[in-house]
Amino acid sequence: MKAAVVGNPIAHSLSPLIHGAWLKAGALDGTYERVLIPLGAFPAEIHRLQAQGLSGVNVTLPFKEEALALADEPSPRAVLAGAANLLVFGADGRICADNTDGEGMLGAVAAQAPGFDLTAAPVLMFGAGGAARGAAAALVAAGAPSVVIVNRTLARAEAIAAELGPKVRAFSLGEAAALISDAGLIVNATSAGLAGQPGFDFPLDRAPRAAVAMDMVYKPLITPFLAQAADLGLRTVDGLEMLIRQAVPSFAAFFGQAPDLSVDVRGLCLAALEPAS
C-alpha cells in the first residue's frame, strides 16, 4: 500500500510525518511519500503515480483545482469546494476526488473547543479561496445558522454565497467590524502571512467572549489572530489540529482502516515545526 502527498513546493509538508506515524502505530505495510510535481505537469505526474500502483494521493497547493478537474468521480463536497485535496485511484483506473478540509475544520473545532454549539450563532469567516469555500459548505451542512464570508475581493465571497445558498452571505473587509459582535465562530481562512508577509489580524474586541476563534494557518502555530483572541479570553482552535483531522479520512481511503488517534501526531508535528535551537 503506497500513497503520497503532491504539491509544489512540497518539502515543508507535514503529511508524511502524520501518515507515517499512523502506519507505524497500525503495524501496516505501507509507505507515504512526498512528491514534487513541476508546474504544468500535474495530469501526467498523477497518471505516472497511478501506474506505479499507488492507492492515491493527497494534493496541496497549487494543484487542488486541477485535481478536481482530473477526477472521473468527484464527491459532492469536492464539487462544492471547487477543489480536491484527496485523489483515490480505483482498481478500474478511475480517479475519485474528495475534499476533506471542511471535515478537518469541524473536527478541529470539536477537539479544541469541546461543547461549542455550531448551531447557536453565525459563523464569520475571513477569506474566499478554496479552503473557505470547502469550510463554508461543511459549516452549512453541519447546521450553522448562517455563514458570513468576508473577503478582500468581495466578488469572490459573493460567488461562494451565490453557489451555497441563502445561509451564506458575502461582505467586504470594511463591513466586518459591524458583523463580529454576532459571531459564534470566527475563522481566518485567508492565506495572508505566507512568504514572510505579516499574518492576518482583525480587531476582535467586539467579539462575544463566548466566541471561538480559529486560524487555518499553522505556521506559526499561534498566529497574530489567535494571539489576540487568546488575550481577549476567547477559546482558540489552530490550523495544525485541522491539518491532522483532514488527514484522517485520507488515511482510511489509502490504507483501508482508520488511524489510531491515540498516537501523538500533534506532538511530532510541533517538534517538526519548532525544532530545538
Catalytic residues: 64
CB of 30 or CB of 130, closer to ligand NAP: 130
Q: CA-CA distance, 188 to 146, in Å (whole number)?
A: 16
Residue 125 or residue 207: which is nearer to ligand NAP going by CB? 125
Write the DSSP symbol of residue 200. Answer: P
Radius of gyration of the chain measured on its C-alpha atoms: 18
- List contacts with ligand NAP (CB under 6 A): 101, 104, 127-132, 151-153, 156, 189-192, 200, 216-218, 239, 242-243, 246
Distances from the Cα of 23 to the Cαs of 2, 43, 116, 239, 249, in angstroms?
A: 11, 28, 31, 23, 14
C-alpha cell at 16: 508524511
Residue whose C-beta lies closest to ligand NAP: 129
Q: Which three cell numbers stand for residue 11?
A: 518539502
| CA atoms 217, 98, 43, 34: torsion sign | positive
Tell the smallest beta-carbon distance from residue 209 to ligand NAP (Å).
25
CB of 217 to ligand NAP, least distance (A): 5
- CB closer to ligand NAP, 210 vs 252: 252
Cβ proximity to ligand NAP: between 119 and 195 the closer is: 195
- Is residue 228 within 8 A of residue 206, CB to CB? The reply is no
CB of 67 to ligand NAP, least distance (A): 12
Find the shortest distance in angstroms from Cβ 105 to ligand NAP: 8
Q: Which residues are CB-contacts of 271 (< 8 A; sequence separation ≥ 6)?
A: none
Distance CA 234, CA 211 (A): 6
